[in-house]
Amino acid sequence: MGLFSSLIQRKFKDIAGKRYERILKEYRDFLLTEEEMVLPEIKSVLIPLDRFIGEIPVEVYETLSAYRDAKFVLLYIIDIHVSYMIEQTLGVEASEEFKKKEKEEGMKLLGKISRNFEALGINPQLRLFFGDKSRDIISLAQKHDLLVLSKAYGSEITKTHPLSPVVLKIVQHVNIPVIVY
Amino acid sequence: MTPETVAVAVFLFTYALVVSEKIHRAVAAMFGASVILFLKIVPWENIPKYLDLNTLFLLMGMMIIVNTARNSGLFEYVAIKTAKLAHGSPIRVLLLFSIVTAVISSVLDNVTTVLLLTPMLLYISRLMELSPIPFLLSEIFASNIGGTATLIGDPPNIMIGSAAKLSFNEFLINMGPIAAIDLGVTILIIYLAYNNALKVTPKKKVMIIQTLRGLDEKAAIRDIRLFRKSVAIILFVVALFFLHDRLGIEPAVVALFGASLILLWTREDPEGIFEKIEWPALFFFGGLFIIVGALEETGTIAKVAEWVLTHVHTQGEALLVITWFSAFSSAIVDNIPLTAAMIPLIKHMGASMNVYPLWWALSLGACLGGNGTAIGASANVVVIGIAEREDVRITFVDFLKVGMIIMIITVAIGVGILWIRYVGW
């Protein structure tokens, strides 16, 4: 330590005492650490959608626009279990009707969200299939760097249950960053 | 050895100890004062004459208010809010943090202000992946400039205000405009000097905004009721400072009233708050008052004043000499002992000239002189010390290159304004 450094540190100790350590500790409670501050490199973003999601908030679009160069996948999964249950209880015809309506609704939502992304200069890939929402997303998430999920994905949310159980299961099983909006 | 020689020797010895920092400045001042009292150079009954209680109680009152308010998270809230308002732009960070630092420093002590804002500035610079040096330098200069603006902004101003019976409003009218212009000029100089180091890519800017958006300023508030009460009391105390001369009460009474009110209203643990009072600073002041009192008691100050008056004939000359002498001296040594020694000198000069403008000259030089070198003011030492702990090196020469230019320009602007106002064209 040079002469100047030791003089500064001596003076600093005299003037500030232990106040700085206390202030630093208080700041650490709510500021990100060096490690947390390093933003992960995002090359691929997975955005699952379903009938419980009407719209993606503007703030999420703004956040995602930072990853303009990444590949975006808008994914609409129609619950295969629901379709099976309808087939078992109401018959094949009702099940086919459900699938048709779900597909239409899915394509409509994918188109609407896709246009919003295109307005930001992002051209997302669109995918729609029948499957198990939580299992398929957990599996697909391995091929992506960021998962963007609505709190209402897979189930309606209420005041007493502000987070869908499907979302809870997904976030507990994926090991990539997740934005829950 | 005559009492006069002893008084001068103790003064110089204490000064040397303070400058060398070999022992704590409070201990140096206490030891010097003890020697003076032991040798009866200042008789015991004359202590109240030299021990400026107005300064001591004003400092103490403000320390109580600040320490109580700090518990609420008020200052962290302001720091995060300011960071968010900058919207990821380095120039805005520079501008907003400089203004916020100057405004807070004009009401609270500079050390507390920079201690609370520097961690946030370092955090934002890391986020922007830019060198924090321009931001830290700007914070230092803004703090010293902001402190110049008011009676309670900087200890030399408190001492000058108390000795010359100057009101809060007189300080604001005389020093406020100088501080505002100096702040603008300083930010401009920093911007021009570090223009290339204040750029981020648009992509990075979006990332910064997002990260800052993730910071919740409300999370910094540890106690919302204390937060609201602290804001109310600080505003009330500032309002009382504006009115103290009309009400005929001393600034120290305003500070102590505010301090007792905040403790009474918030019910914060008084023991904890009293422990946080910077007693070493208060003992440093107390000791210095006695040491300088010895110079006055023995007639040394009167002789120096006479000598100065034989060489300085007009008010204009005195204005220039006091401003530049105190500015360059403050850049090298602590401005508190300098101000303590200059006050009785100016008082003695009052016998043969109107010294009213000279108080402003002293305030200008003592406060802004601190910007000249890295060790010129406490705020400089604190910011550079924090930066060093975070592996950001600001060397003495690095600081001097910018600091000396800023000091000369800001003091020149100030002295120009004072000259126009009190000496004329």
B402 touches B394 (CB < 8 A): no
Query: CA torsion angle for B417, B423, B424, B425 (degrees, to 10)?
Result: -90
What pLDDT is recorded for position A37? 63
Q: Which of A155, A50, A166, A45 is nearest to A109 (CA)?
A: A50
Q: Tokens 């850049």 map to which residue?
A: B331
A66 touches B204 (CB < 8 A): no
Does any CB of chain A come closer than 8 Å to the CB of residue B350? no
What pLDDT is recorded for position B402? 93
Query: Does the beta-carbon distance from A4 to B395 stay under 8 Å?
Result: yes
Asked whether the predicted pLDDT for residue B276 surpasses 90, the reply is no
Give me the residues of chain A with pLDDT under 70, please. Answer: 1, 34-40
Does any CB of chain A come closer than 8 Å to the CB of residue B174? no
Asked whether the predicted pLDDT for residue B308 surpasses 90, the reply is no
* pLDDT higher at B303 or B19: B303
B377-394 pLDDT, tens per residue?
889 999 999 998 888 888
Of B73, B382, B389, the CB nearest to A15: B382
Give the separation between CA B175 and CA A168, rounded to whole angstroms. 60
A30-44, A154-168, B199-213, B399-413: lowest mean pLDDT where? A30-44
ipTM of the complex: 0.78
Query: Does the beta-carbon distance from B210 to A62 stay under 8 Å?
Result: yes
What pLDDT is recorded for position B9? 94
Tokens describing residue A87: 């087939």
What pTM, to 2 d.p., does this model score? 0.76
What pLDDT is recorded for position A39? 63
Q: Which of B397, B417, B385 is nearest to B119 (CA)?
A: B385
Contacts of residue B110, defined as CB under 8 A and 6 or more positions apart, other chains included, come to B143, B144, B146, B147, B153, B154, B377, B378, B379
**Tell me, what amino acid is at B244?**
H
Give the separation between CA B329 and CA B283, rounded to whole angstroms. 23
B79 touches B123 (CB < 8 A): no
Query: Mean pLDDT throughout B400-419?
Result: 95
Does any CB of chain A come closer than 8 Å to the CB of residue B215? yes
Kindly calculate the radius of gyration of chain B based on its CA atoms and give it in whole angstroms.
Answer: 22
Of B119, B206, B385, the CB nearest to A27: B119
Query: Does the beta-carbon distance from B206 to A65 stay under 8 Å?
Result: yes
Does any CB of chain B come closer than 8 Å to the CB of residue A10? yes
Chain B residues lying within 8 Å of A26, measured CB to CB: 73, 76, 222
What pLDDT is recorded for position B343? 93
DSSP string, A19-57: HHHHHHHHHHTTSPPHHHHSPPP-SEEEEEE-TT-----
Minimal C-alpha gap between B295 and chain A (Å): 26
In the DSSP assignment, the letter for residue B218 is G
3-state secondary structure A113-180: HHHHHHHCCCCCEEEEEEECHHHHHHHHHCCCCEEEECCCCCCCCCCCCCCCHHHHHHHHHCCCCEEE
Chain A residues lying within 8 Å of B378, measured CB to CB: 15
Q: Tokens 């006055």 map to which residue?
A: B296
The structural architecture, per CATH, of the domain A39-180 is 3-Layer(aba) Sandwich (3.40)
- Secondary element (H or E) of residue A77: strand A71-79
Minimal C-alpha gap between A129 and chain B (Å): 33
Chain B residues lying within 8 Å of A10, measured CB to CB: 21
User: Averaging pLDDT over each range in B76-80, B178-182, B244-248, which range is the top one?
Assistant: B178-182
Query: Does the beta-carbon distance from A8 to B386 stay under 8 Å?
Result: no
What pLDDT is recorded for position B185? 96
Domain boundaries, chain A: 1-35, 39-180
Kindly calculate the radius of gyration of chain A based on its CA atoms and give it in whole angstroms.
Answer: 24
Chain A residues lying within 8 Å of B389, measured CB to CB: 20
Chain A residues lying within 8 Å of B388, measured CB to CB: 5, 8-9
B148-158 pLDDT, tens per residue?
999 999 999 99
Asked whether the predicted pLDDT for residue B277 surpasses 80, the reply is yes
What pLDDT is recorded for position B220? 82
B58-81 pLDDT, tens per residue?
999 999 999 899 888 888 888 888
User: Averaging pLDDT over each range in A82-96, B303-317, B355-369, which range is the top one?
Assistant: B355-369
Does any CB of chain B come closer than 8 Å to the CB of residue A3? no
Of A14, A29, A32, the CB nearest to B24: A14
Tokens describing residue B133: 């040096």
What pLDDT is recorded for position B405? 95
Per DSSP bridges, beta strands A146-149 and A178-180 are parallel
Give the separation between CA A30 and CA B7, rounded to whole angstroms. 52
What pLDDT is recorded for position A1? 60
A34-75 pLDDT, tens per residue?
666 666 678 899 999 988 887 888 888 888 887 888 899 999
What pLDDT is recorded for position B212? 79
